[in-house]
Structure 1
Amino acid sequence: MGEFELIDRFFRRPVRRQPLGIGDDCALLAPAPGMQLAVSSDLLVEGRHFLSTVDPARLGHKCLAVNLSDLGACGARPVAFTLALSLPQADAAWLAPFANGLLALADEHGCELVGGDTTRGPLTVCITVFGDVPAGQALLRSSARPGDEVWVSGHLGDARAALEVFRGRLSLPTPAFEKARARLEQPTPRVALGQALRGTATAAIDVSDGLAGDLGHILRQSGVGACLSQPALPPLMAISDALATDPALACVLHGGDDYELAFTAPAERHQAVIRAAARSRTPVHCIGRIEAEPGLRLRDAQGHITSVRDAGFDHFA
């Protein structure tokens, strides 16, 4: 199977709307009047971002999900994406489920595949996603203010727990491990929540490199600090007493690959956040408050406060 047959067989689809689809040298994107274009790219490399044993359908899902998560963090609506794919070989048995997982999530969010590239090489997937957001309404990292509440969506730490099982550093019962593994390999991008939070949240980021590290980006870009409540942190889905042990707390604070949203909002908008979460059918948790003093701190159930390292995962550290 050649390169162009591969594209035609697995990735060419009828265009439902502008922009133009696969077949030209460029996709043509034109944001609607009053809208801004939101663009994000992510590169996933075998052995670094995913294991060679991952189900290809789940991998296809995740490769797009991590990009859609960035759009969610900005409050943007998905429009289109491009796919650059490096493959050791053109294996139809692998490509079919990969494409199915990728395109099923694309269809769920109305996001069209409009171009890309393929080549022979180590298994690597690079997706660039395009969305739109009303001009001036994008959620940024730089607008958190002292007194704002700190929120997160969903659950944190399960993806890291699954990775620790793969590494042989943690043991989980099989049902708990399978639940955590699904969180690692098939995350849910919080696109609807991000859009629902426009006009309510002051700052937002997706949690890809760990809550402490990603929240740290908001704190530094906003020039503020934060204190989180340990009892308010959402527990791991896979471990019932998640925050009772140091390894579990580390998974919640420093684990990556959650692709939940961390965001801030004024305390007087507390109920507005609850309503936005209900509209988007997304669970949310209020976990702390923004403070003027720089740095990230954690208050335990006894009221003791400790400093938290707010550096996230770094590929080159």
Structure 2
Amino acid sequence: MPGEFDFIQRYLSDRQVNRKDVHLSLGDDCAIVKAPENVRIALSTDTLVAGTHFLASANPAWVAHKALASNLSDLAAMGATPAWVSLALTLPEMDEAWLAPFCDTFFELANYYHLQLIGGDTTRGPLSMTLTVQGFIPESTALMRSGAKVGDWIFVTGELGDSKAGLDVILDSALRTKPFALELEKRHYISTPRIVVGQALLPHASAAVDISDGLIADLRHILNCSGVGASIDVSQLPYSSELLAYCGDETLATQYALTSGEEYELCFTVPAEQRSTVENALAHTGTKVTCIGQIRPQGVFELHNKGQAVDWQINGYDHFKA
């Protein structure tokens, strides 16, 4: 079995072409990087722990994708362009059968987004990983949670709810006989970071957040930071045909779309005068976007179905209450 330095040499070194802004990466005490002029650096750190974010028996390629894609999603929510990543990996043992597919997928996704691994750490212990991603934002702007105004329209990208259904299947093998169960399990791990969407939104959106704890929970981050409320038409929530077949019921599928965590889609708000501009700009990204409601005055939070009030006692995902 390889030791730490053998691991770095075998699995991490020479996997990427050096970015011009990386002056020193793997193999020394620190990385040395240089940011371009007139940009700020966006940073995000996430930890994934076996038993909380994935099963230790999960496909290591899927785990790698989930780990990196979830971090990239944070950059997307700020409108940032990916640049660098560090990886701290804790392993019970140096298992080559696990490491090879994990690293192959990690670098495949990193290379796609021109993201370079510049450092990190390896240690022995319960399986977990911590990633820190860094990206560039123009000096004069950024997408934040605090800019929503009354009258802004609320949008989401993609389709919601698949990740929650996939987690159901992961936690209860008896559900594997339900329609599309295995596909939904895969979708729990495999998301698409909306980097291009975030960049396209920079000049137009008033606020944004990525959906990691469920739409109903993450939208509240925007509302709290912006000092506003919201009205959501649940009939407009986008979900997949596979989720509907799995749930067997439109109401349940809609509730999954509201509460599903680890979706890594974007929720964002757009001033009324920018709505058509944003819809045209995003049409060129190849990403589905759906208007689901509108920002209201602070203190208002309502769910309705085409104007008919909906009284659902539901919440998003909380790691410390799960």
In the alignment, the residues of structure 2 paired with residue 172 and residue 230 of structure 1 have an alpha-carbon distance, to the nearest angstrom, of: 28
Aligned to 1:37: 41
Taking the TM superposition and a 5 Å limit, the aligned residue runs for 1:179-218 are 179-218=183-222
Partner of 1:108: 112
Contact 2:244/2:250 (<8 A) preserved: no
| 1:252 corresponding residue in structure 2 | 257
- Residues of 1 paired with 2:314 and 2:222: CA distance? 11
TM-score (norm 2): 0.92
Task: Assess, with a 3 A threshold, how the Cα gap between structure 1 residues 31 and 311 changes in structure 2: closer, same or farther.
Answer: farther
- One-letter amino acid matched to 2:12: F
CA distance in 2, matches of 1:24, 1:309: 52
Distance 1:118 1:295, change over 3 A: farther
Aligned residues: 316
| Conservation of the 8 A alpha-carbon contact between 1:56 and 1:98 | yes
Matched, 1:313 2:278: no
Normalised to the residue count of structure 1, the TM-score between the two structures is: 0.94
Letter in 2 for 1:289: Q
SS in 2 for 1:240: helix
User: Would you say the 8 A contact 2:75–2:82 is kept in 1?
Assistant: yes
Which of 290, 296, 299 is the matching residue for 1:291? 296
Instruction: State yes or no: 1:58 paired with 2:62.
Output: yes
How far off its partner does 1:26 sit? 1.3
The aligned counterpart of 1:22 is: 26
CA RMSD of aligned residues (A): 2.0
Measure the CA separation in 1 of the matches of 2:237 and 2:100. Answer: 39
Structure 2, unmatched stretches of 5+, are: none
Alpha-carbon spacing, 1:289–1:243, altered in 2? closer, same or farther (3 Å): farther
- Letter aligned with residue 15 of structure 1: N
Q: 2:181 matched to which residue of 1? A: 177
Distance 1:119 1:300 in 2: 51
1:70 aligns with 2:74: yes
Structure 1's unaligned 5+ residue stretches are none
Q: 1:300 aligns with which of 270, 280, 305?
A: 305
- 1:137: which partner in 2? 141
Q: In the alignment, does 2:283 pair up with 1:282?
A: no
On the 8 A contact 1:180/1:237 being kept in 2, the answer is no
Determine whether 1:118 maps to 2:127.
Answer: no
- 1:16 CA drift (Å): 3.3
Query: Retained in 2: the 8 A contact 1:150–1:264?
Result: yes
1:230-272 deviations in whole A, cap 9, x for unaligned? 1111023423366944432221111101000000001221222
* CA–CA separation in structure 2 for the residues paired with 1:189 and 1:101: 15
2:169 corresponds to 1:165: yes
Q: Is 1:273 matched with 2:278? A: yes
Shift of 1:28: 2.0
Describe the shift of the 1:2–1:54 C-alpha distance in structure 2 as closer, same or farther (beyond 3 A).
Answer: same
1:148-197 deviations in Å (ceiling 9; x for gaps): 00000001010101111233398466662233122201111111100011
- 1-side partners of 2:260 and 2:178: how far apart? 20
Alignment of 1:63-102 (within 5 A): 63-102=67-106
| Partner deviation per Cα, 1:217-236 (whole Å, 9 max, x = no partner) | 00000000101111111023
Q: Is the 8 A contact 1:296 1:310 kept in 2?
A: no
Match of 1:2 in 2: 3
Is 1:215–1:310's contact at 8 Å kept on the other side of the alignment?
Answer: no
Conserved? CA contact 1:213–1:310, under 8 Å: no
* Contact 2:166 2:185 survives alignment (8 Å): yes
Task: Tell whether the 8 Å contact from 1:219 to 1:294 is kept in structure 2 after alignment.
Answer: no
